[in-house]
């Protein structure tokens, strides 16, 4: 499943390509979306903004229409210039949103070949492939929807603060004291954005055993968890050029060609030496979703409370 920062990057790219532009064509293979489009046409609306909320990507059209998509395992949004060949077969297409530049004519004087070529590429299409969840909402139905979770404070949003994140964890500890912290870090209703890789990395950075109950987590540990979450997510969004996540940037003993685990502290490193203390990293499945959780038994000691 894509991590929150991947969805965030997707939303940012969609925002750049579609934001402020007018929809010139809308196409879908999904009956429910097509029915809504029949009733209240998407064509002619302006894309007001594109937003990531945890694992969800929301496209806001003018006139109170919101396209809500969940990426799940295999869903993805691609951006193409109109006429460009798609990288995935057409049968995997679920939605196409085509937009046109607001201004068709160049506002400046230079009219060399390159300029004209660029100009003729003024139309973009955003293509959603393979997503299993895609639906239209109004602001009101989105608010009421039980399927689209009411997300917690998004780790990557501008309004995010450490105090806000700590408050969310503290509230969860009060209402669900036996919840394991590794499960809570993945719970998008508490804090939105963290995926399974970051869950283990963040718990390691905070020195917190991911299987501890929330009632045993101190205020300082909550702060450390929230700070690490913010730091890792932000760093990986800013880097932006690669899908690879990086939390470990210490001296590298290996060659330049590195596998995924070589850039992380604990994730997928079970049996290998802890980069901090040398103990063997452990792995265990966790929660009702049986997600793999990695930790160092020395750096992240067990506390029964
Ligand atoms: Zn260790």
Q: 273 and 160 in one domain?
A: yes
Domain end position, chosen among 149, 174, 209: 149
DSSP 9-62: HHHHHHHHHHTTPEEEEEEES-HHHHHHHHHS-STT-BEEEEEEETTEEEEEET
Determine the Cα–Cα distance for residues 210 and 180; give it in Å rounded to an integer.
7
Neighbours of 80 (CB within 10 A): 17
Rounded to the nearest whole angstrom, what is the distance from the C-alpha of residue 213 to the centroid of ligand 1?
20
Q: 189 and 134 in one domain?
A: no
Rounded to the nearest whole angstrom, what is the distance from the C-alpha of residue 266 to the centroid of ligand 1?
9
Q: According to the model, what pLDDT value does residue 53 have? A: 75
Rounded to the nearest whole angstrom, what is the distance from the C-alpha of residue 208 to the centroid of ligand 1?
11
Neighbours of ion ligand 1 (CB under 5 A): 274, 276-277, 279, 296, 298-299
Q: 138 and 163 in one domain?
A: no
Sheet containing 22-28: which strands, arranged edge to edge? 22-28, 93-100, 123-129, 76-81
Rounded to the nearest whole angstrom, what is the distance from the C-alpha of residue 139 to the centroid of ligand 1?
47
Rounded to the nearest whole angstrom, what is the distance from the C-alpha of residue 180 to the centroid of ligand 1?
20
Q: 112 and 183 in one domain?
A: no
Label residue 182 left, alpha or beta by phi (over 0 means left) and psi (-120 to 50 means alpha): alpha
Q: According to the model, what pLDDT value does residue 233 have? A: 86
Q: According to the model, what pLDDT value does residue 140 have? A: 87
Would you state the structure tokens that stand for residue 188, as one six-digit string? 């998008």
Q: 163 and 127 in one domain?
A: no
Rounded to the nearest whole angstrom, what is the distance from the C-alpha of residue 165 to the centroid of ligand 1?
26
Q: pLDDT tens, position by position, for the chain (305 residues)?
A: 456 677 878 888 898 889 889 999 999 999 999 999 999 999 999 999 888 776 788 999 999 999 999 876 678 899 998 889 999 999 999 999 999 874 333 333 334 434 433 444 468 899 999 987 899 999 888 888 766 666 678 888 878 899 999 999 999 999 999 999 999 999 888 998 888 889 999 999 999 999 999 999 999 999 999 999 999 988 877 654 444 677 777 654 443 445 556 689 999 999 999 999 999 999 999 998 889 999 999 999 999 87
Q: According to the model, what pLDDT value does residue 6 have? A: 77
Rounded to the nearest whole angstrom, what is the distance from the C-alpha of residue 203 to the centroid of ligand 1?
12
Q: What's the CATH number where 182 sits?
A: 1.10.8.50
Q: According to the model, what pLDDT value does residue 75 have? A: 84
Rounded to the nearest whole angstrom, what is the distance from the C-alpha of residue 47 to the centroid of ligand 1?
48
Phi and psi, residue 285, nearest 5°: -75, 145
Domain end position, chosen among 130, 149, 168: 149
Q: According to the model, what pLDDT value does residue 12 have? A: 83
Q: According to the model, what pLDDT value does residue 72 have? A: 67
Q: Which domain holds residue 46?
A: 4-149
Rounded to the nearest whole angstrom, what is the distance from the C-alpha of residue 280 to the centroid of ligand 1?
8
Rounded to the nearest whole angstrom, what is the distance from the C-alpha of residue 161 to the centroid of ligand 1?
28
Determine the Cα–Cα distance for residues 15 and 31; give it in Å rounded to an integer.
26
Q: 93 and 186 in one domain?
A: no
Rounded to the nearest whole angstrom, what is the distance from the C-alpha of residue 276 to the centroid of ligand 1?
5
Domain end position, chosen among 149, 168, 184: 149
Residue 301 lies in a domain: no
Q: What's the CATH number where 17 sits?
A: 3.20.190.10
Contacts with 131 (C-beta within 8 Å, 6 or more apart), sequence order: 69, 70, 71, 72, 75, 76, 94, 95
């Amino acid at each position: 499943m894509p991590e929150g920062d991947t969805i965030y990057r997707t939303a940012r790219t969609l925002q750049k390509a579609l934001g402020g532009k007018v929809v010139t064509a809308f196409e879908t293979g999904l009956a429910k979306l097509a029915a809504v489009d029949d009733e209240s046409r998407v064509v002619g609306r302006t894309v007001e903004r594109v937003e990531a909320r945890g694992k969800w990507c929301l496209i806001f059209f003018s006139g109170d229409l919101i396209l809500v998509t969940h990426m799940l395992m295999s869903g993805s949004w691609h951006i193409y210039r109109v006429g460009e060949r798609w990288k995935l077969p057409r049968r995997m297409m679920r939605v196409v949103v085509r937009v046109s530049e607001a201004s068709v004519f160049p506002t400046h004087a230079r009219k060399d070949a390159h300029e004209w070529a660029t100009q003729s590429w003024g139309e973009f299409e955003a293509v959603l492939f393979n997503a299993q969840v895609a639906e239209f909402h109004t602001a009101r139905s989105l608010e009421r929807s039980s399927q689209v979770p009411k997300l917690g404070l998004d780790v990557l949003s501008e309004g995010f603060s450490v105090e806000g994140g700590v408050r969310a964890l503290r509230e969860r500890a009060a209402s669900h004291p036996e919840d394991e912290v590794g499960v809570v870090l993945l719970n998008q209703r508490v804090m939105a954005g963290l995926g399974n890789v970051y869950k283990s990395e963040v718990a390691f950075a905070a020195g917190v055993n991911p299987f501890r109950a929330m009632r045993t987590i101190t205020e300082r540990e909550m702060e450390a968890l929230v700070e690490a979450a913010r730091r890792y997510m932000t760093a990986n969004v800013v880097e932006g050029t690669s899908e690879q996540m990086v939390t470990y940037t210490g001296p590298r003993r290996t060659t330049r060609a590195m596998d995924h685990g070589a850039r992380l502290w604990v994730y997928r490193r079970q049996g290998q030496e802890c980069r901090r203390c040398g103990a063997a990293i452990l792995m265990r499945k966790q929660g009702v979703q049986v997600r793999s959780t990695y930790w160092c038994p020395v750096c992240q000691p067990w506390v029964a409370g």
